[in-house]
């Protein structure tokens, strides 16, 4: 069967791509930045205010830069099992899971959420920087499977509603609220490329570690839904949130950032997401991953500093005056009010509560090793 590639327009003359909500962001004075070729909001008020709104009340995010790829056809079940280390075929309809694409060496190309839309139809969301790469990789690895692979990334918008009061907001808009890693449909009265009907997807997923949903909707209605959400969240101390808060929120909860916390150089065991691996089926990279299961040297961990110093990507981690790891992500935690980091450390020193030192501008700052989920 054939493929359909509908990519967003490539950046031309240095002009970034824009989501369907770009004009709405400008109306409320968002500070825009270039993010992997997309002009996206960094913040509207301040990163800390937006971060705290999500932790205490509710925040909404435009995440429409993420990809949208549909797999359908007679061999869809067999194909998704082949391209993922997870047993995706075990998913029931209206369920989704977190997993990752692996290369032939068992290392992670990208991570994703995959949804089972029906018996022969799956939907996945690659990261913004990897949309075309993943789409081409999937086609290159069809290997005779009777599937159709379609990229709808320029037709679909995503809005995340995150925080302890997210359910209250969703219900005020007349929508149901799904539990984590499940999704439901609601009538948008607009055609949707994913469902071939007027239904939109309300997914119990997120990238903040808080209760919430992600709305997967046609571009044509994105502005209306965004503005209705804005009106409701403002009534309960909620805020629109940019990529800055999204990054600090995910770091507090130890969530991986593709291209920074891994980049085809780490396998799921090193990245502390071994739960995605099921060896009871054949998949790309399985043989080498079986060998690596017990042979890897470094593991992904969190680090809590003793002060407000911020560890940055590439900073060395010392144990007994020896470099035993590197930071991949770091920030000042608005919840803990101290510097926190994520990164890889020699397994020998990865036990929680171990003391290490992080070299910050030629000053070795004491830190404690913790699980990647730094804020409980």
Integer Cα distance of 355 and 283 in angstroms = 38
Q: Who wins on pLDDT, 10 or 294?
A: 294
**pLDDT (average), residues 270-288:** 98
Q: Say yes or no to pLDDT of 193 above 70.
A: yes
Q: What's the CATH number of domain 1-295, 3.40.50.700, 3.30.300.30, 3.30.70.1050, 3.30.1360.120?
A: 3.30.1360.120
Check residue 15 and give its pLDDT. Answer: 78
The pair of three-digit structure tokens given for residue 251, joined into one six-digit string: 């770091």
Question: Would you say 64 and 156 are in contact if contact means Cβ atoms under 8 Å apart?
Answer: yes
On whether the 297-370 domain is CATH 3.40.50.300, my answer is no
pLDDT of residue 14: 65
Q: Which among 186, 202, 6, 249 has a CA at the least distance from the CA of 96?
A: 202
Mean pLDDT for 137-149 is: 97
- Looking at residue 13, its pLDDT comes to 56
What are the counts of helices (DSSP H) followed by strands (DSSP E) for the chain?
8, 20
Q: What is the mean pLDDT of the chain?
A: 95
pLDDT confidence bin for 10, thresholds 50/70/90: very low
Phi-psi region of 353 (alpha: psi -120 to 50; beta: other; left: phi over 0): left
Strand partners, 327: 343
Q: How high is the pLDDT of residue 239? A: 98
| C-alpha span between 256 and 194 (Å, rounded) | 27
What's the CA gap between 327 and 311, in Å, rounded?
A: 7
pLDDT in tens, 244-265: 999 999 999 999 999 999 999 9
**Hey, where are the domains in the chain?**
1-295, 297-370
pLDDT at 6 > cutoff 60 = no
Mean pLDDT value of segment 154-168: 98
Token pair listed for 343: 């990164």
pLDDT at residue 11 tops 70: no
Give the per-residue pLDDT at 197. Answer: 87
How much of the chain, in percent, has pLDDT values that exceed 90? 92
User: Over the stretch 32-63, which tens digit does the pLDDT of each residue have?
Assistant: 999 999 999 999 999 999 999 999 999 999 99
Phi/psi of residue 287, nearest 5 degrees: -60, -45
- The answer to whether 304 touches 236, Cβ cutoff 8 Å, is no
> For position 195, what pLDDT does the model report?
87
Q: With 50 as the cut, is the pLDDT of residue 12 above it? A: no
């Amino acid at each position: 069967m054939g493929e359909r590639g509908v990519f967003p327009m490539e950046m031309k003359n240095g002009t970034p791509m824009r989501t369907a909500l770009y004009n709405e962001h400008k109306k409320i004075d968002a500070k825009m930045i270039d993010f992997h070729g997309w002009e996206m909001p960094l913040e509207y008020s301040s990163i800390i205010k937006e971060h705290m709104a999500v932790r205490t009340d509710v925040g909404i995010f435009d995440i429409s830069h993420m990809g949208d790829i549909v797999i359908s056809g007679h061999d869809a079940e067999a194909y998704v099992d082949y391209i993922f280390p997870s047993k995706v075929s075990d998913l029931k309809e209206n369920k989704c899971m977190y997993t990752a694409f692996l290369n032939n060496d068992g290392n992670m190309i990208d991570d994703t959420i995959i949804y089972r839309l029906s018996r022969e139809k799956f939907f996945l969301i690659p990261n913004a920087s990897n949309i075309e790469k993943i789409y081409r990789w999937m086609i290159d690895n069809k290997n005779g499977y009777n599937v159709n692979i379609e990229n709808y990334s320029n037709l679909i918008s995503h809005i995340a509603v995150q925080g302890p009061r997210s359910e209250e907001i969703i219900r005020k808009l007349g929508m149901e609220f799904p539990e984590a890693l499940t999704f439901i449909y609601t009538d948008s009265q607009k055609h949707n490329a994913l469902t071939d009907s007027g239904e939109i997807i309300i997914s119990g997923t997120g990238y903040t570690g808080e209760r919430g949903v992600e709305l997967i909707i046609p571009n044509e209605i994105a502005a209306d839904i965004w503005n209705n959400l804005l009106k409701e969240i403002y009534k309960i101390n909620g805020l629109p949130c940019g990529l800055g808060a999204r990054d600090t929120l995910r770091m507090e909860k130890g969530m991986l950032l593709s291209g920074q916390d891994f980049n085809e150089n780490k396998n799921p065991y090193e990245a502390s997401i071994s739960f995605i691996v099921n060896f009871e089926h054949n998949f790309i990279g399985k043989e080498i991953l079986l060998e690596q299961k017990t042979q890897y040297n470094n593991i992904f961990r969190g680090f809590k500093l003793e002060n407000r110093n911020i560890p940055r990507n590439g900073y060395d981690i010392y144990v007994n005056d020896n470099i035993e790891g590197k930071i991949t992500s770091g920030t000042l935690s608005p919840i803990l009010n101290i510097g926190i980091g994520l990164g890889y450390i020699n397994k020998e020193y990865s036990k929680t509560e171990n003391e290490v030192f992080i070299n910050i501008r030629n000053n070795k700052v004491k830190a404690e090793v913790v699980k990647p989920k730094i804020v409980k």
